[in-house]
Structure 1
Amino acid sequence: MSSSFITEENVLISFSGGRTSGLMLKMFIDANGGTLPTNYKVVFANTGKEHPNTLKFVNDCAVNWGIEIVWLEFKCDEGDKPKQRWKQVSYETASRDGQPFADLIKMRSYLPNPVTRFCTIDMKIRPIQFYCEQILSWTEWNVAIGFRADEMSRVKKLANNKEKFERFAPLAQLSITKREVSEFWQSQAFDLELPNNNGVTDHGNCDLCFLKGEYKRIRLMAEHPEIANWWIEQEQSIGATFRKDAPNYQQLKQFAIKQVDFFGYEREDLADCFCAD
């Protein structure tokens, strides 16, 4: 077992709600004798656009493994200063209608995009940071990220960090790949109730994140066209699009409904996002 799982330093375990970070969390628990010391905290940052089964999975991990998972959300009530733009919620009270994300877009008056991904910063990184500083009174800490050894391009980006905390990928250090992740969950009494597409959970994270390729987003809309409505509303409210190099969400929804030939659309996600695992 890597020494990264056992340390006297403060550790923030960033749980995305996916299978990989779920395995990482269980390895931390097992390495520390079945529980987590007080210098370890597990946090899930909810955007309101996660699949309901992702939220259920986060809660299932807490219940089945007997640990506390802290749920955080972005908020921007009138008069809030930047460091007040977060709140602690629970599985029962967490947003399921995209309101935190919509509030952020309204506050910013423009949409996040592949170049300016403030959604990750404002809805995940900053709420977690403010929780560590304001509630835990931590001045230094390490953030465990659920990146595997078969996604080293993402792991390498962790070193490019100007924050007061250090990020690390313990699973990558142990050469764990999606194969080991899949084998682990096949042996468990519960699992994330979302399809596993060769180690990738297409339905995971924000349901129609603009970083997902057009082909993937069209397929997801073909299954449930209604999930496009929130994204369409955001584009129309701002009068812009999440991506300038792709059809807008209204057009993608029409493609999905008509089940047109998807040939020509990119099949790969555009970029790596630290929301994912």
Structure 2
Amino acid sequence: MTNALEKHVLGISGGKDSAALAVYMRQHRPELDIEYFFTDTGKELPEVYEFLGRLEGFLGKAILRLNPDRDFDFWLKQYNNFLPSPQTRWCTRQLKLRPFELWLKPILEEGNTVYSYVAIRSDEEYREGYSSKNERLKIVLPFKDAGIDKPGVHDILESAGLGLPRYYDWRSRSGCTFCFYQQKIEWVRLKEQHPEAFEEAKSYEKDAVEQGSPFTWSQGESLDELTRPERVKQIKEDYEKRLERVKAKRQTNPLRSVGEDIDIDELFGQSKGCLACHK
């Protein structure tokens, strides 16, 4: 029987927080042999893959791709063509957590202890990104312990020469192109930035509705309805009004930089998005 060992893993979502944590751990705990992994749904934004490549260059090692053995289309059929939603997040369960569990299962069964590093910031309430019944899987929150908040995350990425993933120019989260946690302005921008991906999302939605799914991608309206010219105009106007209100409030706060970027989560309220995708 082999001696039990320790393994250190860090999940990369394609978002800013997990990327900053990878940089932080390389800089502050270089003695740890951390294995970085990315669970690939096959429906990610092109900007995500580009950013992963740049992050690999900084880390000096490859990010392991945990490709699910069954893709989004397979699981959609298993769920009778019902779209995933905040109420039934089967995409996270089957396409993100399941590959992670299958990867770690033999490692834990050998008696090894696995430390999983999660990018919950100090300015966030702790949300459990993964709960395990195995006592040898330990969740570690370095940003919480070090008091690193959102501006601190931006500083880490800027100082490393990485900056933010390019999709942050128009969207607030990574994950699938058709993530149901997107705001309506983000659906409009997806159509503008990646029309092919938008059309694919629309086709999934059409099939789901025909099969009796109670959910559309965006709450309260179909993508067809959301992208009618008059509706797009309304969504963009609402976004600009929100942006102006937040800017006005910021100017009265001497502790905040007026020129600091305002992200979509800040405009619409922090979403309860899946940690495996969003961080």
The normalised TM-score by structure 2 is 0.73
Aligned residues between the structures: 238
| Residue of structure 2 in register with 1:194 after alignment | 166
| Residue of structure 2 in register with 1:249 after alignment | 223
Identify the structure with bigger relative contact order (alpha carbons < 8 Å, sequence gap 6+): 2
Q: CA separation of 1:150/1:141 partners in 2, compared to 1, >3 Å: closer, same or farther?
A: same
Find 1:16's aligned residue among 10, 13, 17.
13
- 3-state DSSP class of the match of 1:11? strand
Q: What's the CA shift for 1:117?
A: 0.4
Alignment of 1:1-277 (within 5 A): 9-33=6-30, 36-37=32-33, 40-76=34-70, 100-109=71-80, 110-134=82-106, 139=111, 140-152=113-125, 155-158=126-129, 161-164=131-134, 165-194=137-166, 196=168, 202=172, 204-239=174-209, 240=213, 241-242=215-216, 245-255=219-229, 259-262=232-235, 267-268=268-269, 270-274=271-275, 275-277=277-279
Q: What's the CA shift for 1:36?
A: 4.1
Q: CA separation of 1:253/1:225 partners in 2, compared to 1, >3 Å: closer, same or farther?
A: farther
Letter in 2 for 1:231: A
Q: What's the CA shift for 1:174?
A: 1.2
State the alpha-carbon separation in 2 of the partners of residues 168 and 206 from structure 1: 26
Conservation of the 8 A alpha-carbon contact between 1:14 and 1:21: yes
Q: What's the CA shift for 1:232?
A: 1.2
Ranges in structure 1 where 5+ consecutive residues have no aligned partner: 1-7, 77-99
Conservation of the 8 A alpha-carbon contact between 1:14 and 1:145: yes
Q: Which has the higher helix share?
A: 2
State the alpha-carbon separation in 1 of the partners of residues 219 and 67 from structure 2: 30
Letter in 1 for 2:96: K
Q: What's the CA shift for 1:236?
A: 2.0
State the alpha-carbon separation in 2 of the partners of residues 268 and 217 from structure 1: 17
State the alpha-carbon separation in 2 of the partners of residues 188 and 206 from structure 1: 26
State the alpha-carbon separation in 2 of the partners of residues 268 and 229 from structure 1: 27
State the alpha-carbon separation in 1 of the partners of residues 180 and 96 from structure 2: 17
Conservation of the 8 A alpha-carbon contact between 1:132 and 1:138: no
The normalised TM-score by structure 1 is 0.73
Conservation of the 8 A alpha-carbon contact between 1:57 and 1:191: no
Q: CA separation of 1:68/1:115 partners in 2, compared to 1, >3 Å: closer, same or farther?
A: same
Ranges in structure 2 where 5+ consecutive residues have no aligned partner: 240-266
